[in-house]
C-alpha cells in the first residue's frame, strides 16, 4: 500500500492504494470515478484516456504513483470546469458529441472527448486531418468515426464562430496509431 | 399486423392518403433528436456493468483450457481454496446442467464438465477478495488433461467423424446441415445461356465491442438472485440462469446496465453469468467478473468462416435463371446460434434480386476453435460477399455495367421470394440510383486509371423474424406505460439498448403519439423485475417490433385520454388532438389545455392511468421445414458503392470512399440511422481489409488483443457518405 496525494479534477485527494495500481484503477476503484473506461487494460483502445497536466494519457498504462502533484482531468471534471469558468451545462465538446449523435454505446467516448478537449486546448481551430490524427489513439467500434469528427468540428465551429465544414476534405491514408502515451 | 392498423383514434399526424394536406407533419419522428441518454454518456455518468460496486463484493476469475481438445482427467483445487483471500472455487461439477441459446442444440456448460473444446474453454472459476488474489488462485489449480486430436480445418471435421467434439452429435462433427431447393435448378443450369461459377472464402471476424463482458451477481437472504450483465438479450439470460441454477425463474432478476457495444457478441448466455451467480450463492457475497480483453477474444461468437461455392445461370441479357450454392461453415466449438446461421446462410440471399430457381446446401461443422455465433448481419454477410462478387463476374462475362445487371434482376416490391418470404415495400432501385449518382459512377468509373476503381454491392436484411428462439405464442415485444399527473410518462420496455438508441426510440414514439415533449418521457429498460418481456436486441428487430408495441400502448392510452377530455368538453372524441404538449379541440383550437391537465382530467374520470401494448408477427414464411427462419415482417434494402485502389506492387488495398444508400422504411431519427449506416459500413470495410479472427496451428488465437486484431482507427476509416 502506498499513500498517494493526487490532484483530481481540481481537488486535492489522498488515497491509499497498492503500489502497482494504475491511475485507472485508482480512479475507478478507489475514487469511484468510473467515467474513465477500461476496454483493454494494455494501452490498445484509448477508452481510459484522461488528461494529465492537460495532455492525454492512457490511464491503464500510467502508474498512479507517477501522477502525484500533477493535474488529472477525467470526464467527470469537464462539466464542473466549464461551469466554474463561467459556462453553463456541459463542456462544448460534450454538448457537440450529444448534438451530433456521436454517442452510440458511449463506451469509447469519455476517452474520445478528452482527446478532443486536449486538442482544442492546444489548437482551437484544427483541420479535419488534425482532428482525425488527435483521435487516432481512441478506438470506436460503433460509429465509424464520422459523427465523432463532425462533433469536434461543430465544437470548433461554435468556438470560432464559423459554420462547420461538410464532409469531403481529403485526408492522409494508412494506419498510423501513435505510440502508447505515458505520463 | 402492425399496431397502427389495429388501434385507436387514428395516427396523430392524420390518416389521410399520403400527400393529402389533411395530414399533419410529424412532430418528433423524422427529426434529428438527441438521445435521451446522450448527456449521461457524455459526462461519464452512465453506469456500465463494470462500474457497479456492491458492498463486500468479491472478484472472480476464470481458469481456461490450454488445450484445443482434451479430456479432463482430474481437477485439484485444494491449494487454490486454501489461499488466504479465496472464498470459493467452482468447477464443472458445480454447474452440470447444459444450456445454449437455441433450445434444440444446448451443448454448453458454464465450466467444462469432462472435456475442453478450444484453447480458452472455461474450466474453473475463483472468487476472492480482489483480482490479484483470484489470479494467484487460478495458478494453484491443478488440471490433468488427456489431449485429443484437434480439428482446426472445417474440411477435416467434415471428412473425419472421430473423435467427436460433441459426443451427442448424430453425424460425426457436423453441427447442422440444411439442404433446400426451390424450383428445378438443374434444368435451369443445363439450359442457361451463361453460367458463372466460383469458390469464395470468407475468413472469421469478431465483434470487438470496446466494453469487455462483465457480470455482477448478488444472492439475497430471501433466496433471490440478481445478475447485472453486459448482455444484449436479458430475457434469454434470465431463462438460462433459471435452468442451469435450478432456481424458480421468478426469483431471478436480470438487469442490463448501460452497454458498451455488442454487435451480436453479447447475445448468448456466457459462462461468467452462471459463474458469478453460483459464486454469489456459495459465498453469500456479491461477486463480479470482468473478462480481460484476451478472454473476450476467446468468447468470440463472431462471424463464421465460410467456404462458399456458387453457380449462377443467366440469360444473355443478364437475367438470373438459377443460383446454386454449396457452403461449408466453420462453427468453432459450440452450437451457439449455429442452427440459425446455417439457415440464414441460404435463406437470406433471395433478395433484392429475383431468383426463379434456387438451391443451397449448407453444412456447419464443429472445430476446436473459439465458438462462432451471430455478428451484425448474422449469417448473411458471407454469402452476400460471395454472391455479389459472382454477380460482378457475370457482368464482366456479359459486358454489362454491374449496376445495370443488378437493376435488371430487381425482384420488385410487394412480392414473394422464391423461398416464400413476403417482401413489402422495396426501395432497392432508389438505393442503386442514389449511389450511382452520388459516386459519379457513369462519368468516373472508366477514368480512374489502373489500380483504382468503383465497386457496387446490394443487399437486404430482416427486421427480426417471426420465429422466436423458443417456440411460444406470446408477444415478441411488450410495453407498459405509466402516466403521472405531472405530465410525465414512463415507458417500461424489455428491449436492450446496446448503443443503437432503442431507449430513445421508444421515447420518440411515445412523444409523437401523445404529442409530448421527449424530455417529459422516462424510459425504464431491460430489468426483468420491472419490465414486460422483450426478446432482446438481435436480428435487427428492436425498432420494428418494440416500436410497434410502443405505438400499440400509446394509442390505447391516447384513446383513453382523448375520450375523457371529450366527455369533459362534451364533444366527439375524434375532435380531440394531442400535440406540442397540448390537448386541443380540432374544431375550435382556442379550447386548449396542457397535456398534464388532460392527464388529470383522464385520471379523475377513469382511474390511475396506464396502458400496455405488444407486438407479435403475423404468420409468415414458406410452408416447409425451416421456412419461417429468415421470414421477417419487413426487410430493409441497401446499396453501396466503394472507391478503392490497389498498390500493384505490394497488393495493399486502400478504400478511399464509400457511398451508402439504405431503405430502412421511415427513419424515426435520421441522425441515429446515419450512425448505424456509417458504423456498419466501417465494420464491413474492416472485415474485408483488416480484420482476421484466426488461430495458429495449435489452435491458439493468433492475436487476442486490440492491437493485433486490427480494427480501424479514425485515420484508417475511409470517408463514409450517406
Ligand atoms: S483501457 Fe484500453 S488503452 Fe487503456
Ligand atoms: S460509441 Fe461505442 S465504441 Fe464508440
In this predicted model, what pLDDT tens digit does every residue of B316-346 receive, in sequence order?
999 999 999 999 999 999 999 999 999 999 9
- Residues B450, B350, single domain; the answer is yes
Q: In what order do the strands lie in the sheet with A2-8?
A: A11-17, A2-8, A71-73, A49-52, A55-58
Together in a domain, B411 and B510? no
Q: Is there a single domain that holds both residue B194 and residue B247?
A: no
Q: Residue B14: pLDDT above 70?
A: no
| Residues A55 and A9 grouped into a single domain | yes
Are B325 and B439 part of one and the same domain?
yes
Identify the residue whose C-alpha is closest to ligand 1 atom 3: A43
**Does B36 reside within a domain?**
no
B111 CA to chain A: closest CA distance, Å?
A: 24
**Alpha helices in B413-529, H assignment, sequence order:** 428-438, 441-444, 502-514
CA dist list (Å): B478 to B357, B553, B611: 39, 9, 11
Whether B294 shows a pLDDT value over 50: the answer reads yes
Among B261, B679, B711, B712, say which to mutate for ligand 2: greatest number of ligand atoms within 8 Å of CB: B261
B136/B356 Cα distance (integer angstroms): 62
Given this model, what pLDDT does residue B625 score?
92
pLDDT at A160: 85
One domain, residues A95 and A131: yes
Tell me if the bond preceding B23 is cis, omega within 30° of 0. Answer: no
Pair (A121, A73) in one structural domain: no
A125-131 long-range Cβ contacts below 8 angstroms, 24+ apart: A125/A156, A125/A159, A125/A160, A126/A152, A126/A156, A127/A169, A128/A153, A128/A165, A128/A169, A128/A171, A129/A169, A129/A171, A129/A172, A131/A156, A131/B714
Model confidence pLDDT, tens digit, residues B368-385: 999 999 999 999 999 999
Q: Please indicate, yes or no, if residue A170 is contained in any of the structural domains.
A: no
**Does one domain contain both B222 and B352?**
no
Residues A14 and A63 in one domain: yes
The dihedral formed by the CA atoms of B65, B70, B76 and B82, expressed in degrees to the nearest 10: 0
Q: Are residues A66 and A12 in the same domain?
A: yes
b/e code B234-251 from CB counts within 10 Å (16+ = b): bbbbbbbbbbbbebeeee
Asked whether A45 lines ligand 1 (CB < 6 A), one says yes
**pLDDT tens by residue, B255-284:** 999 999 999 999 999 999 999 999 999 999
**How far, in Å, is the centroid of ligand 1 from the Cα of A64?**
15
Q: To the nearest whole angstrom, how far is the Cα of A160 from the nearest Cα of chain B?
A: 22
**How is residue B103 annotated by DSSP?**
G
B304 with B366: CB under 8 angstroms?
A: no
**A161 pLDDT tier (thresholds 50, 70, 90):** confident
Q: Kindly tell me if the per-residue pLDDT of B4 is higher than 50.
A: no
Beta pairing partners, B126? B61, B89
Residue B17: pLDDT band (50, 70, 90) is: low
Q: What would the pLDDT profile of B409-462 be if each residue is shown by its tens digit?
A: 999 999 999 999 999 999 999 999 999 999 999 999 999 999 999 999 999 999
B183 and B284 belong to one structural domain:
no
Maximum pairwise Cα distance, chain B: 84
Q: B84: burial class by Cβ within 10 Å (0-12, 13-18, 19+)?
A: exposed
Mean per-residue pLDDT, B679-706:
95
The per-residue pLDDT for B25 is 80
Based on the fold, state whether residues A118 and A69 are members of the same structural domain: no
| CA–CA distance, B172 with A113 (Å, rounded to integer) | 52
Interface predicted TM-score (ipTM): 0.95
Residue B22 within a domain? yes
Span B219-237, average pLDDT:
98
Using CA atoms in the order A33, A35, A38, A43, what is the torsion angle rounded to 10 degrees?
-90
Rounded Cα gap, residues B375 and B538, in angstroms? 9
B602 and B705 inside one domain: no
Chain-chain contact of B720 with A143 (C-beta, under 8 angstroms):
no
User: Chain B interface, mutation test: which of A93, A99, A144, most B Cβ atoms within 10 Å?
Assistant: A144
Q: Smallest Cβ distance to A110: which of B44, B671, B682? A: B44
Instruction: Output the nine-digit C-alpha cell for B383.
Output: 454469402
Residue B331 CA to residue B118 CA, distance in Å, equals 12
Residue A172 scores a pLDDT above 70: no
What's A14's domain CATH number? Answer: 3.10.20.30
Does residue B79 sit in helix, strand or coil? helix
- Identify which has the larger pLDDT, B667 or B6: B667
| Cα–Cα distance list, B3 to B7, B413, B616, B669 (Å) | 6, 22, 9, 20
Averaged pLDDT for residues B498-517: 97
Beta bridge partners of B86: B128
Q: B376 to chain A: which residues are within 8 Å by CB?
A: none
| Euclidean distance between CA atoms A182 and A6, whole angstroms | 17
Question: For residue B211, which atom of ligand 2 is closest to its CA?
Answer: 3
Question: In this predicted structure, what is the pLDDT of residue A179?
Answer: 44
B379: number of Cβ within 10 Å: 29
* Domain closes at, from B299, B329, B355: B299
Instruction: State yes or no: pLDDT of B245 exceeds 70.
Output: yes
Is A156 found in the same domain as A94?
yes
Same structural domain, A65 and A7 = yes
Which band of pLDDT confidence, cut at 50, 70 and 90, is reported for residue B407? Answer: very high
Q: Residue B15 is placed in which grid cell?
A: 390518416
**In chain B, how many domains are there?**
3
* Residues A99 and A68 both lie in one domain: no
Burial B565-582 (b: 16+ CB within 10 A, else e): bbebbebebebbbbbebb
Q: Specify the pLDDT at position A162.
A: 73
Q: Note the pLDDT of residue B722.
A: 79
What pLDDT digit, counting tens, does each position of B138-183 carry? 999 999 999 999 999 999 999 999 999 999 998 999 999 999 999 9
Residue B228's beta-bridge partner residues? B216, B255
Question: How many Å apart are CA B339 and CA B341, to the nearest integer?
Answer: 5
Using 50, 70 and 90 to split pLDDT, how confident is the model at B468?
A: confident
Residue B684 in domain = yes
- Spatial distance between the Cα atoms of A15 and B202, rounded to a whole number of angstroms: 51
Please determine, for residue B2, whether its predicted confidence score (pLDDT) is greater than 70.
no
Beta-carbon separation of B715 and A29 below 8 A: no
Same domain for B344 and B291, yes or no, is no
pLDDT grade for B647, boundaries at 50, 70 and 90: very high
Q: Is A46 in the pocket of ligand 1 (CB under 6 A)?
A: yes
Percentage, residues of chain B above pLDDT 90: 93
Residue B503 lies in a domain: yes
Confidence of residue B8 (pLDDT cuts 50, 70, 90): very low
Give CA–CA dist B209/B709, Å, rounded: 12
Report the nearest atom of ligand 2 relative to the CA of A142: 2
Same domain as B248, residue B113: yes
What share of chain A has pLDDT > 70, as a percent? 89
Cα B158 to Cα B492: distance, rounded to the nearest angstrom: 47
Contact criterion met (CB below 8 Å) for B185 and B359 = yes
Q: Does a structural domain hold residue B169?
A: no
Q: How many CB atoms lie within 10 A of CB B374?
A: 27
Domain boundary (B615, B640, B658) is at B615
User: In a mutational test of the pocket of ligand 2, which residue from A38, A101, A142 has the highest number of ligand atoms less than 8 Å from its CB?
Assistant: A142
Does A174 have pLDDT greater than 50? no
Residue B711's contacts (CB-CB under 8 Å, 6 or more residues apart) are A139, A141, B208, B686, B690, B691
One domain for residues B53 and B125: yes
Query: Residue A113 domain-assigned?
Result: yes
Cα–Cα dist B53/B166, whole Å: 39
A61 found inside a domain: yes
Cβ–Cβ gap A132/B44 under 8 Å: no
Decide if B710 contacts B691 (C-beta within 8 A): yes
CA distance B442 to B641: 12
Alpha carbon B134 to its chain's center = 33
Q: Which of B298, B542, B207, B672 has its CA nearest to residue A141?
A: B207
Pairing of strands A49-52, A71-73: antiparallel
The domain of A98 spans 90-160
Q: Does residue A32 belong to the interface with chain B, where contact is any CB pair within 8 Å?
A: yes
**Residues B368 and B117 sit within 8 Å (Cβ to Cβ):** yes
Same domain, B386 and B435: yes
CATH of the domain at B247: 3.90.1170.50
Domain containing residue B605: CATH number? 3.30.365.10
CATH code, domain carrying A125: 1.10.150.120
Mean pLDDT rounded to a whole number for chain B: 95
| A37 close to B (CB below 8 A) | yes
Give the helix, strand, coil percentages of chain A, each rounded to 5. 40, 15, 50
| pLDDT band at A173; cut points 50, 70, 90 | very low
- Out of A33, A107, A137, whose CB is closest to B261? A107
CA–CA separation, B480 and B513 (whole Å):
14
pLDDT of A170 strictly over 70: no
In a shared domain, residues A124 and A64: no
Q: Are B543 and B595 contained in the same domain?
A: yes
Average pLDDT, rounded, for chain A: 91
End-of-domain residue from the set B254, B274, B299: B299
In the prediction, which pLDDT does B18 show?
60
Query: What per-residue confidence (pLDDT) applies to B11?
Result: 64
d(CA B698, CA B152): 8
Decide if B461 contacts B665 (C-beta within 8 A): no
Question: Whole domain around residue B558: which residue ranges?
Answer: 12-30+474-615
State the Cα–Cα distance between residues B322 and A160, nearest whole angstrom: 59
Give chain B's length: 722
User: Atom 4, ligand 2: which residue's CA is nearest?
Assistant: A140
Tally of domains in chain A:
2
Cα–chain-centroid distance for residue B322? 30
* pTM over the 0.90 mark: yes
Could you report the per-residue pLDDT of B473-482, keeping only the tens digit for each? 999 999 999 9
Q: Does B447 reside within a domain?
A: yes
Amino acid A177: pLDDT: 44
Q: Which residues, 6 or more positions from B206, have their beta carbon under 8 angstroms from its beta carbon?
A: B265, B297, B300, B302, B303, B375, B691, B693, B709
Instruction: Please tell me the distance from the alpha carbon of residue B460 to that of residue B260, in angstroms, as a whole number.
Output: 27
Contact yes or no for B222/B238 (Cβ under 8 A):
no
pLDDT range class, residue B466, cuts 50, 70, 90: confident
Q: Among B233, B328, B327, which residue's Cα sits nearest to residue B537?
A: B233
Q: How far is the CA of A114 from the centre of ligand 2 (A)?
A: 14
Cell of B70: 482434451
Amino acid at each position: 500500500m502506498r499513500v498517494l496525494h493526487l490532484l483530481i479534477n481540481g481537488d486535492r485527494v489522498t488515497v491509499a492504494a497498492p503500489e502497482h495500481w494504475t491511475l485507472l484503477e485508482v480512479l475507478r476503484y478507489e475514487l469511484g470515478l468510473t467515467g474513465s473506461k477500461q476496454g483493454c487494460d494494455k494501452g490498445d483502445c484509448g477508452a481510459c484516456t484522461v488528461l494529465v497536466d492537460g495532455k492525454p494519457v492512457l490511464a491503464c498504462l500510467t502508474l498512479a504513483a507517477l501522477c502525484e502533484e500533477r493535474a488529472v482531468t477525467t470526464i467527470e471534471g469537464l462539466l464542473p470546469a466549464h461551469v466554474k469558468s463561467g459556462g453553463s451545462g456541459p463542456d462544448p465538446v460534450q454538448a457537440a458529441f450529444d448534438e451530433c449523435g456521436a454517442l452510440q454505446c458511449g463506451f469509447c467516448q469519455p476517452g474520445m472527448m478528452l482527446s478532443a478537449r486536449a486538442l482544442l486546448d492546444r489548437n482551437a481551430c484544427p483541420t479535419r486531418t488534425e482532428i482525425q490524427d488527435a483521435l487516432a489513439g481512441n478506438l470506436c467500434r460503433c460509429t465509424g468515426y464520422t459523427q465523432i469528427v463532425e462533433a469536434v468540428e461543430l465544437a470548433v465551429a461554435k468556438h470560432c464562430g464559423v459554420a462547420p465544414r461538410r464532409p469531403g476534405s481529403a485526408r492522409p491514408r494508412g494506419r498510423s496509431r501513435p505510440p502508447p502515451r505515458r505520463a | 399486423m402492425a399496431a397502427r392498423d389495429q388501434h385507436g383514434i387514428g395516427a396523430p399526424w392524420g390518416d389521410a392518403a399520403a400527400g393529402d394536406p389533411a395530414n399533419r407533419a410529424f412532430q418528433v419522428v423524422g427529426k434529428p433528436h438527441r438521445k435521451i441518454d446522450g448527456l449521461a454518456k457524455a459526462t461519464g455518468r452512465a453506469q456500465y456493468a463494470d462500474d457497479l460496486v456492491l458492498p463486500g463484493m468479491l472478484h472472480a476469475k476464470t481458469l481456461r483450457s490450454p488445450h484445443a481438445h482434451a479430456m479432463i482427467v482430474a481437477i485439484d483445487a485444494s491449494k487454490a481454496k486454501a489461499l488466504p483471500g479465496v472464498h470459493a472455487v467452482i468447477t464443472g461439477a458445480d454447474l452440470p446442467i447444459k444450456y445454449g441459446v437455441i433450445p434444440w442444440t444446448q451443448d454448453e456448460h458454464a465450466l467444462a464438465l469432462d472435456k475442453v473444446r478450444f484453447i480458452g474453454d472455461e474450466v474453473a472459476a475463483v472468487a476472492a477478495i480482489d483480482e490479484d488474489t483470484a489470479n494467484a488462485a487460478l495458478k494453484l489449480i491443478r488440471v490433468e488433461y488427456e489431449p485429443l486430436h484437434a480439428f482446426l480445418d472445417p474440411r477435416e471435421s467434415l471428412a473425419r467423424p472421430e473423435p467427436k467434439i460433441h459426443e451427442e452429435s448424430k453425424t460425426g462433427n457436423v453441427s447442422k446441415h440444411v439442404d433446400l431447393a426451390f424450383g428445378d435448378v438443374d434444368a435451369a443450369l443445363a439450359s442457361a445461356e451463361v453460367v458463372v461459377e466460383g469458390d469464395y472464402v470468407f475468413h472469421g471476424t469478431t465483434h470487438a465491442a470496446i466494453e469487455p463482458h462483465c457480470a455482477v451477481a448478488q444472492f439475497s437472504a430471501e433466496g433471490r438472485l440478481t445478475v447485472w450483465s453486459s448482455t444484449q438479450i436479458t430475457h434469454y439470460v434470465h431463462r438460462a440462469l433459471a435452468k442451469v441454477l435450478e432456481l424458480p425463474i421468478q426469483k431471478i432478476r436480470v438487469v442490463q446496465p448501460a452497454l458498451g457495444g455488442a454487435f451480436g457478441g453479447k447475445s448468448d448466455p456466457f459462462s461468467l453469468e452462471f459463474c458469478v451467480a453460483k459464486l454469489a450463492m456459495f459465498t453469500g457475497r456479491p461477486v463480479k467478473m470482468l473478462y480481460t480483453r484476451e478472454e473476450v477474444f476467446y468468447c468470440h461468437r463472431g462471424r463464421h468462416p465460410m467456404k462458399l461455392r456458387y453457380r449462377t445461370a443467366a440469360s444473355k441479357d443478364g437475367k438470373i435463371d438459377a443460383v446454386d450454392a454449396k457452403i461449408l461453415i466453420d462453427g468453432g466449438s459450440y452450437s451457439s446460434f449455429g442452427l440459425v446461421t446455417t439457415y440464414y446462410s441460404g435463406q437470406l440471399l433471395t433478395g433484392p434480386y429475383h431468383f426463379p430457381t434456387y438451391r443451397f446446401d449448407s453444412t456447419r461443422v464443429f472445430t476446436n476453435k473459439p465458438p462462432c455465433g451471430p455478428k451484425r448481419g448474422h449469417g448473411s454477410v458471407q454469402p452476400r460477399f460471395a454472391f455479389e462478387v459472382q454477380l460482378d463476374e457475370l457482368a464482366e462475362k456479359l459486358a454489362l455495367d454491374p449496376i445495370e445487371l443488378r437493376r435488371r434482376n430487381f425482384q420488385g416490391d410487394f412480392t414473394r421470394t422464391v423461398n416464400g418470404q413476403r417482401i413489402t415495400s422495396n426501395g432497392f432501385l432508389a438505393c442503386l440510383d442514389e449511389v450511382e449518382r452520388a459516386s459519379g459512377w457513369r462519368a468516373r468509373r472508366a477514368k480512374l486509371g489502373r489500380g483504382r476503381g468503383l465497386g457496387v454491392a446490394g443487399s437486404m436484411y430482416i427486421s427480426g423474424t417471426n420465429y422466436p428462439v423458443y417456440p411460444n405464442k406470446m408477444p415478441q415485444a411488450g410495453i407498459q406505460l405509466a402516466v403521472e399527473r405531472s405530465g410525465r410518462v414512463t415507458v417500461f420496455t424489455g428491449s436492450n439498448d446496446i448503443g443503437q438508441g432503442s431507449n430513445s426510440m421508444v421515447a420518440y414514439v411515445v412523444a409523437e403519439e401523445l404529442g409530448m415533449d421527449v424530455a417529459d418521457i422516462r424510459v425504464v429498460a431491460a430489468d426483468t423485475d420491472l419490465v414486460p418481456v422483450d426478446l432482446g436486441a438481435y436480428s435487427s428487430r428492436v425498432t420494428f417490433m418494440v416500436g410497434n408495441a410502443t405505438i400499440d400502448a400509446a394509442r390505447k392510452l391516447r384513446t383513453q385520454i382523448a375520450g375523457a377530455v371529450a366527455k369533459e368538453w362534451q364533444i366527439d372524441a375524434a375532435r380531440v388532438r394531442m400535440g406540442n404538449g397540448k390537448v386541443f379541440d380540432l374544431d375550435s383550437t382556442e379550447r386548449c389545455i396542457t397535456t398534464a391537465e388532460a392527464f388529470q382530467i383522464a385520471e379523475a374520470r377513469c382511474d390511475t392511468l396506464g396502458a400496455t401494448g405488444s407486438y407479435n408477427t403475423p404468420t409468415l414464411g414458406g410452408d416447409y421445414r425451416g421456412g419461417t427462419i429468415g421470414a421477417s415482417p419487413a426487410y430493409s434494402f441497401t446499396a453501396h458503392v466503394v472507391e478503392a485502389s490497389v498498390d500493384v506492387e505490394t497488393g495493399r488495398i486502400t478504400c478511399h470512399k464509400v457511398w451508402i444508400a439504405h431503405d430502412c422504411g421511415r427513419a424515426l431519427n435520421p441522425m441515429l440511422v446515419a450512425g448505424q449506416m456509417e458504423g456498419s459500413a466501417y465494420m464491413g470495410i474492416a472485415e474485408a481489409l483488416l480484420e482476421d479472427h484466426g488461430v495458429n496451428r495449435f489452435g491458439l488465437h493468433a492475436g487476442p488483443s486490440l492491437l493485433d486484431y486490427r480494427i480501424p482507427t479514425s485515420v484508417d476509416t475511409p470517408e463514409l457518405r450517406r
